[in-house]
Structure 1
Amino acid sequence: MFRRLERFLQFDELLRSSQRYTLQSLAEALECSQRTVQYDIDFLRDRFDAPIAETRERGWHYTDADWRLDTVPLTQGEVFALTLGARMFAAYGGSAYAEELESALEQLCQRLPTETQVKLRQVRGEKVLFHIGAALVNLNPDVWQRLEFATQMEQSVRMEYFTASRNELSERVLDPYVLYIKRSNPYVTGFCHSNQDIRDFRIDRVRWVEVLPDAFEMVPGFGRRAYVDVPFFHERGGEPQRVVVEFDGRCAPYIKERQWHESQSMRELDNGWLRFEVETRSLAEVKRWVLGFGAGAIVREPPELVKMVRSELERMSKQYKEARGE
């Protein structure tokens, strides 16, 4: 069935070209018999009302250039949604599938009516852009696709990984459980044989990957969705803790317009401030997030996080004083 569909698509491209095709030249181009070509022509005419004709001057051709082979029944809205989804994925996933996505969208565009083609190309052009901040510079398409294959097939991988905190490369074997993109960063989570524990790895820090023939089974009780949803941003460690942060009236609108975490809750206070509560293990990451709002945010709980923020501010103040020679 798939070979026949592929032949139909190739046949469609041949008839839209400027070259003159006879039954024999079509059979040679499609690598099949002339009888098969004639059968396909009859099928397309009967089943899809394809306007196919043959003349001495033009050979086999479409009498209506606007006719399109409906390989996938999509509405215009569905096509636009698919295009925007692909653009968003390309923006968040870096260059891992950039060429494949562009090729797929171009082929889809060519099989649409002319008016829809124009509108779709506008969506694909620079009138609709997705910008997520700093772009990833080290995301290797081959690394991503090998990890994706190993995850789908549940096969272990050997890889070389760069640990930024220690500024060193290490080789390790990993059972990849899940791939995901969070806050614009691509991750693979799985069982690390070196650490004998479930660990997270930034995929843009993976230098190379070798898919091993060894199959693996996930650690009992591991849930992909539950694991990905727990961190505040991504960092892990320790037991979940209740965090309470209050934001002033200037920052409150920015907090209310986003879903920062699945466990979050908000309540407006009488003084115009906003009380934000969340449960997370990642206090260090919450600290950095809170500091980004400057004097517009005050940590109320837990005491450990209050101390972390205060200590960070004291160190920053000291450094600036030393820089000015005070």
Structure 2
Amino acid sequence: MRASSPKIGERTVRADISFLKDRFQAPIKVSREKGYHYTDREWRLPTIPLTKGELFALTLGARMLEAYAGSAYAPQLRSAIGRLAQRLPEQEWLDLQQLADERLIFRAGAETHLDWEIWQRLEDACREKRRVWMRYRTASRGDQVSERELDPYLLHIYRGTNPYVIGWCHKRQEVRWFRVDRILALKTLPETFEIDPTFDPKAHLAMIFQHEAGGIPRQVRIWFDAQTAPFIRERRWHPTQVIEENPDGSLILRITVRGMNDVKRWVLGYGRGARVLEPPDLVDMMRQEICEMSRQYVDEEP
């Protein structure tokens, strides 16, 4: 390693060597016999130069994804982060791991039982645009099991813990969502497909409140009392949301979404602090649900 080229000065070479040693801990020594040389013939320049801060951010991202998306990606994440960490001094890497493990803790809600093999097959099917056959359990119909063929458009992890595959359902002849952890069996079929050119993933997701994809987009207005309103103001619940403030501290949240069942369940979570104003059919759904709930709280034992 000598500055023999007339286009490269000795000062430039020395600066480059110092950079390699300081930034990448390159095992470079100098001697009269060999000049500048690597003491470790197996050492290679990292293909992805990362700072300590960048590697820490990746480590946190891995912890977060593992916490919220489950253990499906855990082995791959740990392997990738470990390889990237090889360029850091061992003690610095141990310090980063300790900080990530003990000072920043991510906790998800209820865990799902995700079959990693099914998830991987869906990833491959999305990438290769291959149709799949599946046996699916529908929780809202008393765990009824059905068989379907699906053109999987994309995978979507909602709120970090709910894994969905979104695609064209040949049984229903429309774009539908399916919880991946409710797929009991999956086969990749030889048929290929093309994604509907009118399907825009971002626009599709923007019209859904949580994960109910059926129906046409409709405006929903919900009133929240003054005690509940601060909890509504502090978040952006939907891309279409508009908040109307009232003089008494209450507010009205306006959103445009497709499914009403998810909205109903969400509003019920705020108890008497929330009231649906429109559309009329959602108001009726709320009344019916509240009446049926009240019957469950009579003095008689169930």
Q: TM-score with structure 1 length normalisation?
A: 0.75
State, as a whole percentage, how many aligned pairs show the same letter.
Answer: 47
Aligned residue for 1:169?
A: 145
Aligned to 2:175: 198
The question of 1:155 aligning with 2:130 is answered: yes
Rounded to whole Å, the distance in 2 between the matches of 1:48 and 1:219 is 50
2:54 aligns with 78
2:95 and 2:115 map into 1 onto residues whose CA distance is 32
Partners in 1 of 2:189 and 2:157 — Cα distance? 24
**Correspondence for 1:309 among 282, 286, 292:** 286
Structure 1 Cα separation of the partners of residues 57 and 290 of structure 2: 45
Please point out which of 67, 74, 89 is paired with 2:65. 89
Q: Render the CA deviation track for 1:262-313: whole Å, top value 9, x for unaligned.
A: 1111132100112211111221111111110111112222222222212211
Aligned match of 1:9: none
Moved more, 109-118 or 210-219: 109-118
Q: 1:47 to 1:172 in 2, by over 3 A?
A: farther
Normalized per residue, which structure has more helix?
A: 1
Mapping 1:39-188, distance limit 5 Å: 48=20, 50-51=26-27, 62=40, 69-114=45-90, 116-136=92-112, 138-164=113-139, 165-183=141-159, 184-188=161-165
DSSP 3-state at the match of 1:201: strand
Confirm or deny: 8 A CA contact 1:162 1:168 kept in the other structure: yes
**Whole-angstrom CA distance in 2 between matches of 1:234 and 1:312:** 20
| SS in structure 2 of the partner of residue 101 of structure 1 | helix
CA shift in 2, pair 1:195/1:267, >3 Å: closer
User: For residues 117 and 231 of structure 2, what CA distance do their matches in structure 1 show?
Assistant: 38
* Contact 1:159–1:172 (Cα < 8 Å) also in 2: yes
8 Å CA contact 1:96, 1:145 repeated in 2? no
Deviations 1:87-127 (A, max 9, x none): 22222222221111122222222321345413420344143
**Match in the other structure for 1:28:** none
Segments of 5+ residues of structure 1 without an aligned counterpart are 1-44, 54-59
What is the identity, as a one-letter code, of the residue corresponding to 2:216? E
Report the equivalent of 2:225.
248
| C-alpha deviation, 1:71, in angstroms | 2.8
8 A contact 1:92–1:181 mirrored in 2: no
CA contact (8 A) 2:219 2:256 kept: yes
Q: Kindly indicate whether residue 227 of structure 2 is the aligned counterpart of residue 270 of structure 1.
A: no
Task: Report the Cα distance in structure 2 between the residues aligned to 1:94 and 1:84, rounded to whole angstroms.
Answer: 15
Q: Tell me which residue corresponds to 2:34.
A: none
SS at match of 1:320: coil
Equivalent of 1:284 in 261, 280, 300 = 261
- Length, aligned pairs only: 271
The 3-state SS of whatever aligns with 1:77 is helix
Instruction: Please tell me the residue identity of whatever aligns with 2:70.
Output: G
**CA contact under 8 A between 2:176 and 2:214: conserved in structure 1?**
no
Give the Cα separation in 2 of the matches to 1:187 and 1:211.
17
